Amino acid sequence: MRNVLAVVLAVLAVLALGSPALAQAPTSKVTIVGLVDNVSSYTRNLSLTDLNYSRKQDTEWYARTRVRPDIIGEVGTSKFVLGLEIDAIWGQLGATDNTPVRASTGSWDLNTDVVPQIEIKWAYTEFDMPGIPVPTRVRLGAQPFGAAANYKVIYANGDFAGVNINSALTPQVRLLATWAQLEEESTGRADGFTRGEDHAFIFSTEITPFKGLDLKPMYSWFVAEGATNGASRASRGGLAAGTVSKESRHTIGLDARWRMGPFSLDPTFLFQFGERNLGKGREQDKRAWILDVRGGFQVGPLLLELAGIWTPGNSANEDVRQPGTDAKYFEPLSTDTGYYSTWAEHWALGIDYFNILQFGGTNPGVGIGYDKYGLIRFGGRASYAVTPAFTVRGAVTANWADEKVDTDGSKTAAAGITPGDFRGDERYLGTEVDLGFTWRFAPGITFDLVGAQTWLGDAMANRTTTGVVPNTRPDNSPKGVQTATIRLRYNF
């Protein structure tokens, strides 16, 4: 990473020195924008800890506050953004009130005097690059991926540390280049630093051949050594994420969005290939793809939308822990749990992003597909604006594994679903139905309420749970999951 960073900084310095000095520095200004969420949820059988949906024993009702302010300092067209986050549950949960629990930064107890719980999400500088014949914007530091790879969340989403360069060749053609440093080897393993040199490059082009149609071809190269970030490589099929000693993964494809009057269409196709080493020279190939198509139709206050998703996987009798067995499941660089978000409350991030199903090594918002078995999904949603301030909505999502699941396997967070008898049993994963409304009743204030019911399919069954505790219950069929959530959001 040091060599790449040195070259980037040297180029930036030369270009900056070659530009004419400004006669007078522009006026600086500082603004703060962001949101505050107050959320309360009831859940039943979400099974975030035991991963066993056949018990139907766990219930929970809790509340929390999430704060996401961005402090923006601007001088002319240049700016610095500091993004902060606090996510605190009401009432002490851990040994101390700043002990993180699930995705929270901590909790608030009596008197709410707590050790700092502030996360730094973003810390980046953005500026126009001089000395380049086409308008070019550069962003350095901890920053969001944005539209670096795709229009929808499917390959790269969330935050990273690195460089993003955005050049407008013409009003209709824009080039984007992103370098993300995932892990840093530093001075090497000799001093006990055991992380690998993990990084990713993303190159994409935004093309608008005519108004209403946007095309985005994309290529990405991901390199990892040893254990890497779980967002980029999750445990699946009994293959623990840290087992892979080295990986080189390529992803290429096309994203598009088309708008014509009341119609919208958003198709995405990505193909993935590469090689990885399982240690001691044992090689494994990567071959996977995903097709994600979503569309909508607006009739006055009524919006109707449909989604279809297909990504293949490995069959039950294919042991992905063995060299020579191709890994056929698609892996994004990072979706930040955002895949299919707003379309479901359990199978994706809803208004309470704690209420998402867990599959063992991953969840459906992070790892696309059910463990190693792939995914076939059909979804639909509808919203009706009764008034400009009040909208009712509903959604349905049905899911199948592309390959039959070995339901005799054991499910753990460390390894995903370890095979049992290597026989495929079931494909149907389950169907979710959501009903709710959104009410914007005051300036900057939005109130959301949604109830969700998921009927889990037999493919979600498994024989053991986290901690390898045998499931000795005679009824191993998965039960339903229910949640009800309210959220009061303040945007400023």
Torsion of CA 229, 231, 236, 239, to 10 degrees: -10
**474 band by pLDDT with thresholds 50, 70 and 90:** very low
Task: State the CATH number of the domain containing residue 69.
Answer: 2.40.160.100
Q: What is the pLDDT of residue 17?
A: 43
Contact (Cβ atoms closer than 8 angstroms) between residue 375 and residue 401: yes
Three-class SS state of 233 = coil
For 202-243, the pLDDT digits (tens) are: 999 999 999 999 999 999 999 998 888 889 999 999 998 888
Q: What is the pLDDT of residue 350?
A: 94
Q: Is residue 422 part of a domain?
A: yes
Q: Is residue 20 part of a domain?
A: no
Q: Is residue 124 part of a domain?
A: yes
* 172: pLDDT strictly greater than 80: yes
Q: Is residue 305 part of a domain?
A: yes
More confident residue, 62 or 1: 62
Q: What is the pLDDT of residue 137?
A: 97
Side-chain half-sphere exposure of 16, counting CA atoms within 13 A: 9
Mean confidence (pLDDT) of the chain: 89
Q: 285: Cβ–Cβ under 8 A, 6 or more apart, which residues?
A: 273, 274, 275, 326, 327
For the chain, what is the domain count? 1
Q: Is residue 22 part of a domain?
A: no
- Give the domain extent around 177: 2-14+31-491
* 271: pLDDT strictly greater than 90: yes
More confident residue, 131 or 376: 376
Q: Is residue 206 part of a domain?
A: yes
Q: What is the pLDDT of residue 465?
A: 47
Three-class SS state of 408 = coil
Alpha-carbon gap, residue 155 to 142, rounded angstroms: 18
* 467: pLDDT strictly greater than 70: no
* 198: pLDDT strictly greater than 50: yes
Q: Is residue 26 part of a domain?
A: no
Q: Is residue 271 part of a domain?
A: yes
Please report, for residues 30, 257, 288, 401, the alpha-carbon distance to residue 311 in angstroms, rounded to integers and kept in the order given.
45, 20, 8, 9
Average pLDDT over residues 161-189: 91
For 82-105, the pLDDT digits (tens) are: 999 999 999 988 777 777 776 788
Average pLDDT over residues 277-289: 91
Q: What is the pLDDT of residue 372?
A: 97
Q: What is the pLDDT of residue 139?
A: 98
Whole-number percent of the chain with pLDDT over 90: 72
- Taking the CA atoms of 67, 362, 242 and 177 in sequence, report the sign of the dihedral they define: negative
**56 band by pLDDT with thresholds 50, 70 and 90:** low
Q: 264: Cβ–Cβ under 8 A, 6 or more apart, which residues?
A: 257, 258, 295, 296, 297, 298
Q: What is the pLDDT of residue 192?
A: 61
User: 240: closest CA among 360, 374, 405?
Assistant: 360
For 413-456, the pLDDT digits (tens) are: 889 999 999 999 999 999 999 999 999 999 999 999 999 999 99
